[in-house]
Amino acid sequence: MDEIKQLDYESQKLKDYRDMIELQTIIGKYLSEGSRTEDDLIKLIPNAKYDQIVGILKNMLFLKLITKDGYPVKYSISKEISEKLIERKRISETDKNLIKIAVLIESKSNDKAELRKANDQIAASLKADEQYLVYDLNIAEIVLHDDLFSTYISAEVSCSSLNSVFRLIYFYGATSIEVLKPDKYTVSLSDLQQTAQIITDMTHGYAQMIYELRNKNDAMSKFKK
């Protein structure tokens, strides 16, 4: 029963992440068109609750994605993000990858400093990986939940092949992936073979890990007796 509750909690948390990213994207779109107040955004996004919009705005301010000024307070895309939007357009004009995805990579630790260091390393590795072209990448604020520090990386990247998508899931520990494009995709035989091999390796790796943990637990149980 406890395992089911944990799964339900994790599923709900993933859904919350997706909803937050979607709402943040919508807010970002409107702010890229011009400065807006909270009331403006509520009118433009009637399906979102006031506290959701305010929460997203606070997070975007923390991430320095937006700025605020005046009274009533108006929110605007930051200069840095405006430059990023120009850069994204430049990247898209030269991007030959057919697949584009939005990815979440969640991390937890009992050590806040090590968690931050690990996420910085993951972000740097993804940006340097030649199989991916990173359009955007952000590391969320670290929060404390159930005695563990947690955060996540949200990124928008294009991938060179279907194989590289599964490689990202496997090697970078993606928690959630949303395919942004294309609507249809033709898979070559070699790409399908490489993808199948990655899934096989991943499944075998998990099975081996479970087997080793089970043996370790059995050994500890015998030791306690």
Q: For 183-214, what is each residue's pLDDT tens digit?
A: 888 888 888 888 888 788 877 776 777 767 77
Q: How many CB atoms lie within 10 A of CB 54?
A: 13
pLDDT at 218 over 80: no
- Which residues, in sequence order, are CB contacts of 125 under 8 Å at separation 6+? 172
Q: What is the 3-state secondary structure (H, E, C) of the chain?
A: CHHHHHHHHHHHHHHHHHHHHHHHHHHHHHHHHCCECHHHHHHHCCCCCHHHHHHHHHHHHHCCCEEEECCCCEEEECHHHHHHHHHHHHHHHHCCCCEEEEEEEEEEECCHHHHHHHHHHHHHHHHHCCCEEEEEEEECCCEEECCEEEEEEEEEEEECCHHHHHHHHHHHCCCEEEEEECCCCCCCHHHHHHHHHHHHHHHHHHHHHHHHHHHHHHHHHHHHC
CB atoms < 10 A from the CB of 97, how many? 15
Residue 4 pLDDT grade (very low, low, confident, very high; cuts 50, 70, 90): very low
The pLDDT score that the predictor gives to residue 90 is 84
For residue 219, pLDDT over 80 is answered with no
Rounded to 10 degrees, the C-alpha dihedral 215/105/55/64 comes to 140
Query: pLDDT by residue (tens digit) across 24-81?
Result: 889 988 998 899 999 999 999 988 889 999 999 998 898 888 899 988 899 998 888 8
Q: What tens digit of pLDDT does each residue of 94-124 get?
A: 888 989 999 999 989 999 999 999 999 999 9
pTM over 0.75: no
Residue 184 Cα distances to 56, 99, 110, 187, 216, angstroms: 32, 10, 42, 10, 45
Superfamily of the domain at 95-186? Ribosomal protein S6/Translation elongation factor EF1B (3.30.70.60)
User: Using 50, 70 and 90 to split pLDDT, how confident is the model at 7?
Assistant: very low
Structural domain spans, the chain:
2-81, 95-186
Pick the CATH number of 2-81 from 3.40.50.300, 1.10.10.10, 3.40.47.10, 3.30.43.10: 1.10.10.10
Contact 128, 64 (CB under 8 A): no
